Structure 1
Amino acid sequence: MSLHLWWLYVTAVFLISATPGPNMLHVMTQSIAHGPRKAMMTMAGLMSAVLLCLIASALGLGALLEASPQLFDLLRYAGVAYLIWLGIRAWRAPVSTGGGIAAQPQSAGALYGTGLLTGLSNPKLIIFAAALFPQFIDTDRPFVIQLAILVVSFVVIESFWYSVYALGGTKLKRWLEPANRQQMFNRGTGVLFIGFGGALLGARA
């Protein structure tokens, strides 16, 4: 892979990763609820999901999902159900009278697990990676090294945007001190998660 191709890839991933989606929304809400330090476990779960999807795509799962609509739909429906469940839970979340979003204490493992499941809720990431990677692979150069460069670059960029959204959630926490704003935020977040689920339901590989 030439340096020019790598820069094209980095630019594309940087812009794609910046786009608000369920992963970024989840990071922001967890940062508001539990603080940026605990939200790092959520980020770790999301990043693990991203790595699993990228590696699975490299191993051929992307091609398998494209060839098997039934398997893709099964994964897609599971992802839809999970996103809608997150949306309902956010909509029904209690508000705090002491400022900030009310949240039950969660262990590091629970935060990691919800991040992992949120990241795995969209199987189209596997298809995306399967379509994206070949555009930047030079067949005349070692495949594994190039794949490692692409994956590491993706992880670094994605981690940067996770941090941006987490810090944004920390700043938003002050604005959410009034109970009516908390309720508005909870319901808005719920609608967005349900909307992401609906968009995934209507998507096709």
Structure 2
Amino acid sequence: MHLELWLAFVATTFFISGTPGPNMLLMLSHGTRYGWQPTLSTMAGALTGLALLFTLSAFGLAAILAASAKLFLLLKLVGAAYLIYLGIQCWRAGDALDEPNIRGDSAWARYRLGLTVALSNPKAILFAAAFLPQFVDPRLAQGPQWALLLLTFFVIEAGWQVAYAAGGTRLAAWLHRPGRIRSFNRFCGTAFFAVGGMLALARR
């Protein structure tokens, strides 16, 4: 792969991954609730979910979603409903940072939640199919290029997830004053509502 093309991919992916979305909001929330180290299991689940989505994209599901408006609509509405459900749970958490309803009371539960949130966005499949191929030079060997792009993507994605979780950990100390935890939970809930709403309204 040409160095200039790879650097363009790095710059673009850096900003795309850093944009607050379902995965990053979850890392911020869990970083605040449990600390950044316990949130590593949440990150592992989210990265597993992205890997599964990219694998499905490689096997042609992206083309199916692009061709089938009904299937894409169904999947995105299910994903949006799940994100809105998480928003409701955050609102219901009130003044608790470790509300059991958030289902993060074990490493396995956090892993499952990260996996589910990552899988809830069908647009990630289309992202893998429409974005990544733009940086593949058809004149060169395909395998090494894809391997480099995917490795780069996951390194950047994991770096941002750690940053969001660490930011949440730092935020936790500030939250231990009356009313701040409730405000934070409602902020996270509203953010999940917003992302879920945008996903529901988004076109293919």
Give the TM-score normalised by the residue count of structure 2. Answer: 0.95
Mapped partners of 1:157, 1:116: distance in 2:
18
Letter in 2 for 1:201: A
Secondary structure at the aligned position of 1:38 is classed as coil
Hey, what does 1:178 align to over in structure 2?
177
Hey, what does 1:160 align to over in structure 2?
159
Hey, what does 1:36 align to over in structure 2?
36
Indicate whether 1:5 and 2:5 are aligned: yes
1:90·1:186 contact (CA, 8 Å) conserved in 2? Answer: yes
Displacement of 1:59: 2.2
Letter in 2 for 1:199: M
Q: Structure 1, residues 152-174: CA drift from partner, whole Å, max 9, x if none? A: 11000000000111110011001
Displacement of 1:82: 0.4
Mapped partners of 1:75, 1:150: distance in 2:
26
Secondary structure at the aligned position of 1:92 is classed as helix
Q: Structure 1, residues 145-204: CA drift from partner, whole Å, max 9, x if none? A: 211111111000000000111110011001100130111111111111011111001001
Mapped partners of 1:102, 1:152: distance in 2:
33
Correspondence list, 1:42-53, <5 A: 42-53=42-53
Hey, what does 1:125 align to over in structure 2?
124
2:42·2:111 contact (CA, 8 Å) conserved in 1? Answer: yes
Hey, what does 2:62 align to over in structure 1?
62
Letter in 1 for 2:73: D
Mapped partners of 1:103, 1:201: distance in 2:
27
2:98·2:105 contact (CA, 8 Å) conserved in 1? Answer: no
Q: Structure 1, residues 66-105: CA drift from partner, whole Å, max 9, x if none? A: 0111111111011011000000000010314xxxx23336
Q: In the alignment, which of 74, 98, 101 is matched to residue 102 of structure 1?
A: 98
The gaps in structure 1 that reach 5 residues or longer are none
Correspondence list, 1:86-97, <5 A: 86-96=86-96
Displacement of 1:36: 1.4
The gaps in structure 2 that reach 5 residues or longer are none
1:36·1:166 contact (CA, 8 Å) conserved in 2? Answer: yes
Letter in 1 for 2:116: L
Hey, what does 1:114 align to over in structure 2?
113
Secondary structure at the aligned position of 1:36 is classed as coil
Give every structure 1 segment of 4 or more consecutive aligned residues whose post-TM-superposition deviation is greater than 6 Å: none
Mapped partners of 1:179, 1:124: distance in 2:
39
Displacement of 1:112: 0.3
Secondary structure at the aligned position of 1:9 is classed as helix
Give the TM-score normalised by the residue count of structure 1. Answer: 0.94
Letter in 2 for 1:103: E
Equivalent residues, number: 201
